[in-house]
Structure 1
């Protein structure tokens, strides 16, 4: 954890961590009024909570899998038909 003093006199605390789901380095921040040991301890606790919350958020791939798992083949086919009609000419669509 590290911190920087802002122009307003407050301190912004930073924590970097590696998000294994997304395979990226992430950074969370918290702003407090002082840099005392008590404030630093509070910042560590808040940053740890933020990191835990961000790890619980599902990725785009996980959301997509949930959406697909909840749909029937008929629903997916109907969505595909709408997209396909836009991609091809009407005569080609009827021929399919």
Structure 2
């Protein structure tokens, strides 16, 4: 992904929305962003790094829908529930 790709994706978002960094697909958690740093890679190409907050603040698990959208988890459904019979007096049979 390039900075342009990221800007395109972010341009469709609410400018007042908070940003969280989703990390670790095997234990998906949300973290606060701490900053953006520019650098060059080993081949001299420009890179941008998005860092976690210096406080390493973690907001807990990602919402399941986000983990599914990132393809980190499969969609799940609760177990099927059987309909229970109506409660009431026994007919004595």
TM-score, scaled relative to structure 2? 0.22
User: Which one has more relative contact order, counting CA pairs under 8 Å at least 6 apart?
Assistant: 2
- Structure with higher strand content: 2
- Structure with higher helix content: 1
Q: Mark the structure with the bigger radius of gyration.
A: 1
